[in-house]
Amino acid sequence: MSLTAISANLSSTKLILPVAVFGLMLGLTGCNNSSTPAEGVDAEAGTEQSSTEQEVATNDDATAAGGQTVTIYSSRNEQLIKPLLDRYTEQTGVKIELVTDKTGPLMARLQAEGKNTPADMLLTVDAGNLWQAAEQGLLQPVSSTILEANVPAKYRDPKGQWTGLSLRARTIFYDPSKVSADQLSTYADLADPKWKGKLCLRTSKKVYNQSLVASMMEHLGEEKTEQVIRGWVDNLATDVFSDDTNLLEAIAAGQCEVGIANSYYYGRLLDEKPNFPVKIFWANQGTTGTHVNISGAGVVTGSDNPDGALKLMEWLSSDEAQGLYASADKEFPVKAGIDESEMLKSWGPFKQDDISVQKFGELQTKAIQMMDKAGYK
């Protein structure tokens, strides 16, 4: 064979191999981006744009020009979070790939994929989950003056690995036909024998209750907190519930008289049933304040587009996005000074617990062990 023919064959081979490899990579990426079912169901924008919002918009335009996609692994209910992401795409042209599942499987997937993950951002609920993701090395530290300005330090990781994006209050709900508001006070008071056979609780296996108990451990100490949990168990009207919606409906049905749930579940029920016969009570107003947690996000360690993920997180902390959280998700803005929805306003102002949400992660294991020891299933 002539040198010319050999050279031609080698050139052809060099062309064919990269094309084949590129096709294989595309196929693998398509598999990685397949969506799975979301976690169970589980805002008025300002008319003027702040300087931080303008900076976000400018940076996002640059990202859009680069044509990069931001891939999100999310345990948020897709129906609730997608309108915010669609708004971001409309404004910036940045495409969002959303992969939804429960937090545990998503974190396991990130561990398995390592540096080859297609994910750029982890979007999930509860500071305990975000803390665990950071501890497992799944999130990378970022620096953002916008997030520092928009999100109070108590709702951010001190190392910059995650940030809160909305607040959810976990408080007391009651049947007004059987209980008056002046009979209620604190989470600990629900352990009093006067509530025997009248209390409903969600399972201790849910991170929301683990974080609540962690906050009580920080405020009350371990011995007192264990006493409270044992009192809760003694006062149960029925078996623990798998979710807050069923718990609230049990109160409405007369199965119990009081319970603890996240306020946004109550807001969603009111959307469907405006005359829902259950009332909200802000716990611990004379002491530490009502327990609040976050939904939030972090930039994935193996991200191919960390700048794009950070810019999206910054936008989600902006006035417009914070207002949307309040109206669409029934969650409270994490940024101060944002107008709440009319529904949230109707529940009245309340004192929030000032604890750093990082504590929920740090004390999570102890909280789980304590609940198990006290017989809280």
Work out the average pLDDT over 322-333.
88
Residue 284's SS3 state is: coil
Domain co-membership, 301 together with 277: no
Range of the domain at 71: 51-167+293-346
Residue 115: which pLDDT band, with cuts at 50, 70 and 90? very high
Query: Are residues 158 and 133 in contact, defined by beta-carbon separation less than 8 angstroms?
Result: no
Q: Are 117 and 79 members of one domain?
A: yes
How far apart are the C-alpha atoms of 232 and 192, rounded to whole Å? 8
Whether residue 326 lies inside any domain: the answer is yes
Residues 152 and 215 in one domain: no
Residue 154 burial by CB count (10 A; 0-12/13-18/19+): exposed, middle or buried? middle
Q: Is residue 48 predicted with pLDDT exceeding 70?
A: no
Let me know whether 320 and 247 are in one domain: no
DSSP state of 298: E
Which amino acid appears at position 316 of this protein? Answer: L
Q: How many CB atoms lie within 10 A of CB 273?
A: 12
Give the model's confidence band at 126: pLDDT under 50 very low, under 70 low, under 90 confident, else very high: very high
Residue 151 CA to residue 145 CA, distance in Å, equals 10
- Is residue 42 assigned to a domain? no
CB 38 within 8 A of CB 100: yes
Residues 261 and 297 in one domain: no
- Are 177 and 255 in a shared domain? yes
**What is the predicted pLDDT for the residue at 328?**
82
Does 7 map to a domain? no
Are residues 116 and 176 both part of a single domain?
no
Q: Which helix (H) or strand (E) element contains residue 100?
A: strand 96-100
Total structural domains within the chain: 2
Any domain includes 137 = yes
Which 3 state secondary structure label does DSSP give 348?
A: coil
Q: What is the CATH number for 246?
A: 3.40.190.10
Query: How far does Cα 93 stand from its chain's mean position?
Result: 25
pTM of the model: 0.82
In a domain, residue 5? The reply is no
In tens, the pLDDT along 172-209 reads 999 999 999 999 999 999 999 999 999 999 999 999 99
Contact 290, 350 (CB under 8 A): yes
